[in-house]
Amino acid sequence: MLILDFDGVIADAFTECAVVTYYADQDPDTVADRPVAALAEALPAAFVARFRTVRTYARTLGDFMVARDPAAGEVRGLADYEALAARVPPARLAALVKGATEVRGALRERRREEWLALHTLYPGIADLLHRHRGRGTSIVTAKDARSVWEILAHHGLDVTVAQVVGGCSDKRTAVRRIAETDGLPPDAVTFIDDHITNALAVRDTGATSLWAWWGYHTPEHVERAVARRQRRVYLPELASLEA
């Protein structure tokens, strides 16, 4: 059984994620009145630079919100990032996540083709999914399930996936439950994620867990992966990967 993360493994959605993060505190309908390209072009360069740094640490939509803090431009490591994340009031964070989700929904509905175009597939992914069609292939992601299904359909890949577990922050539990539901032991699962925390957490279930080298990571992630002997997977390897 093959189980994949979405952003950073199947598709690159850097600009889309930056847009919904930046406009998270604005009225969704007002935001969607503007072309997506205009929204992206209007992003301040300083914010984009901060988001590029934060994206390497982030696992969830809430994590992205750290990029809204000007101090994120000074992040030099995990400790800096976690300190900034910890100072966002929970109520404020919840409101921003809700706002970003609503902005995403408004763009998905009113600027559908423009929004879909912001999600590009990594090379080899389409072939991988087609080869594993009908084998219970699943996606476990922090992104909302509806968006994932629509992006997959846009690329003709919705027929290759059995289920999408969206809004997920505990991938270890999700992977274990998917395997159990299909009557499979964890070691029958091959899991791919670009965040080292998720890769290690799922590996502890007994699954074959692969760290996607083409996604988002930091030097600290590399050090942690080396220390834990975490296996990497590279894009060229997808052509022969079987799960």
Locate the domains of the chain by residue range.
2-11+121-240, 13-116
Q: How far apart are CA 157 and CA 150, in angstroms?
A: 10
Q: Please tell me the CATH code under which domain 2-11+121-240 is placed.
A: 3.40.50.1000
pLDDT tens per residue, the chain (243 residues)? Answer: 999 999 999 999 999 999 999 999 999 999 999 999 999 999 999 999 999 999 999 999 999 999 999 999 999 999 999 999 999 999 999 999 999 999 999 999 999 999 999 999 999 999 999 999 999 999 999 999 999 999 999 999 999 999 999 999 999 999 999 999 999 999 999 999 999 999 999 999 999 999 999 999 999 999 999 999 999 999 999 999 999
pLDDT recorded at residue 209: 98
Q: How far apart are CA 152 and CA 11, in angstroms?
A: 9
**Residue whose token pair is 């975490």:** 230
Q: How far apart are CA 87 and CA 24, in angstroms?
A: 18
Q: How far apart are CA 210 and CA 191, in angstroms?
A: 6
Reported pTM: 0.93
**DSSP letter for each residue of 54-107:** HHTT--SHHHHGGGGSGGGGG--SHHHHHHHHHTS-HHHHHHHHHHHHHHHHHH
* Beta-strand relationship, 2-4 and 190-193: parallel
Q: For helices 90-110 and 145-154, give the axis angle rounded to 10 degrees.
A: 30
* Beta-strand relationship, 11-12 and 120-121: antiparallel
